[in-house]
Chains A and B, each alone.
Chain A
């Protein structure tokens, strides 16, 4: 892959993966109140 494509793809994938990790960590770090 060329470098600029790799940077844009890597950045976009990185943002999405970090967002998922952040959300699900926060979500399940607290007692599930919907139960």
Chain B
């Protein structure tokens, strides 16, 4: 067994906060409430919790176990780990998705993260549009100045090219700089320290905002009506398969499964560190941020200000509108709103930053482990690549959506399916089961053995098939030249990463 000297987490709580930081992102505060509101309200939680038990939690344990298995053998990413788990020529190339997905996602994620920092600064210094006190009946007119600001900030207008503001670009550079600084300080000195500060701050800010929102009342509605809107069960929708698929998709994304980041973080565990309760604790913190805090801010605030009908429209208009248009409009209209707006965007920024360093780490770890280069050089190489690729979503129309669809939606499910098949079927289910339970504070109940072996891959295959049949044809047919530029760029990244894997393999043999 070729053991290398790898970094380790300095403390258990640091590890759990970093893992929770990886999982808690913009989706917890924006995607969950809009998905729940659109898919049955309270009854959404029935498929949500079942999916959590049958897909998300088993897959989370699989990823932690794969990571710890690889880490003690000197590998923090799937090309190296899959080769050990399933010694076939193709296995290391199947692991390329463990690099491709996080790398592509981080390239556009850092840019969105920079918007939250920019808007936090705008909020604090009172640079957001000023509106007269009181709420107009017409929410569209009320929100217009905020929509205009978002368009002028990001430059996302019509046409093939975007023209972001200079401020947006400078703040993007600052955000990249912050990511470099944290990544260069390493696992315990950078990522773990960040998580210990950012995660408690995030929870405190979310709690303050939740209390403020739940006491909102206007002539149009109240936050309590918002909670009614979000949680009242619409039983008829439970028969709709799309609601079940939406719930399965939500639990999948909320725990950041299939991104490769959990595997890389878990590779810094020690050989007999517990992963069963540690993984469950990080997932529990993520659920706290999602179900309790995430469900009590954006939608209740929108209903309190604009009423149920307008809030429905806002919920269906997407996460960006909710985060950067509706919520700032609401916060600027309440007393001390400048500070609440600032809290909201700092909360999103911390959620984004703890996730972006997590999804940048797999490439850094790959370069360190497989090519033996120093951390600083690995970070520099990663960030230069990130910076180049990030120009596509910044300047090219539809590039961000395209990158999100392929890497952040489709390939995460493909990769998760590959992970569970390689681990439970390639490596062997009995050995995989023992690997999960080694050092466990509490062993995983035996019922999860058949769940992980049969049900989890089956459910993943169903989700994937539905997307391939229902979503993919529409996506492929609706494309113009600049969408194809992004697709060619994505294929280029995939080929480049396969070449790196090939080179690292030759280097090991040589």
Contacts and interface: CB of A to CB of B under 8 A. Distances in A.
A7 B285 CA distance: 22
Given A2-B228, A33-B274, A8 B42 contact: yes
Contact of B281 (A12, A27, A34): A27
Contacts of B287: 16, 19-20
B45 A11 contact: yes
B281 A8 contact: no
Contact of A4 (B49, B233, B278, B441): B233
B165 interface: no
Interface in A1-25: 1-2, 4-9, 11-13, 15-17, 19-20, 23-24
B288 interface: yes
Nearest to A11: B45
Contact of B277 (A8, A11, A27, A35): A27
Nearest to A32: B12
Given A4-B233, A12-B291, A13-B291, A23 B273 contact: no
A17 B447 CA distance: 23
A34 B435 CA distance: 18
A5 B231 contact: yes
Given A5-B232, A26-B442, A19 B42 contact: no
Given A16-B291, A34-B12, A1 B233 contact: no
Contact of A16 (B42, B224, B231, B292): B292
A23 B277 contact: yes
Given A1-B227, A2-B232, A34-B270, A9 B42 contact: yes
Given A19-B280, A26-B441, A12 B232 contact: no
Given A13-B292, A16-B287, A19-B287, A24 B441 contact: no
Interface residues of A, number: 25
A9 to B, nearest CB: 4
A4 B42 contact: yes
Contact of B231 (A9, A19, A30, A33): A9
Nearest to B439: A33
Which one of A11, A17, A20, A35 has the greatest number of beta carbons of chain B within 10 Å? A20
B20 to A, nearest CB: 11
A15 B288 CA distance: 10
Contacts of A32: 11-12
B444 interface: no
B431 to A, nearest CB: 23
Contacts of B278: 27
A24 to B, nearest CB: 6
Interface residues of B, number: 38
B272 A33 contact: yes
B15 interface: yes
B273 A34 contact: yes
Given A9-B231, A12-B45, A15-B49, A33 B284 contact: no
Contact of B280 (A1, A7, A13, A23): A23
A34 B15 contact: yes
Contacts of A5: 41-42, 227-228, 230-233
Interface in B1-38: 8-12, 15-16
A7 B233 CA distance: 10
Contacts of B45: 8, 11-12
A33 B227 CA distance: 42
Contacts of A27: 12, 16, 274, 277-278, 281, 441
Interface string B280-318: 110011011001100100000000000000000000000
B284 A23 contact: yes
Contacts of A20: 281, 284-285, 287-288
A8 to B, nearest CB: 3
Contacts of B291: 12-13, 16
Which one of B11, B284, B287 has the greatest number of beta carbons of chain A within 10 Å? B284
B86 to A, nearest CB: 29
B232 A4 contact: yes
B441 A30 contact: yes
A1 B228 contact: yes
B151 to A, nearest CB: 36
27 contacts: A1-B224, A1-B227, A5-B230, A5-B232, A7-B42, A8-B41, A8-B43, A9-B227, A12-B42, A12-B45, A13-B291, A13-B292, A16-B287, A16-B288, A20-B285, A24-B281, A24-B284, A26-B441, A27-B16, A27-B274, A27-B278, A30-B441, A32-B11, A33-B439, A34-B9, A34-B15, A34-B269
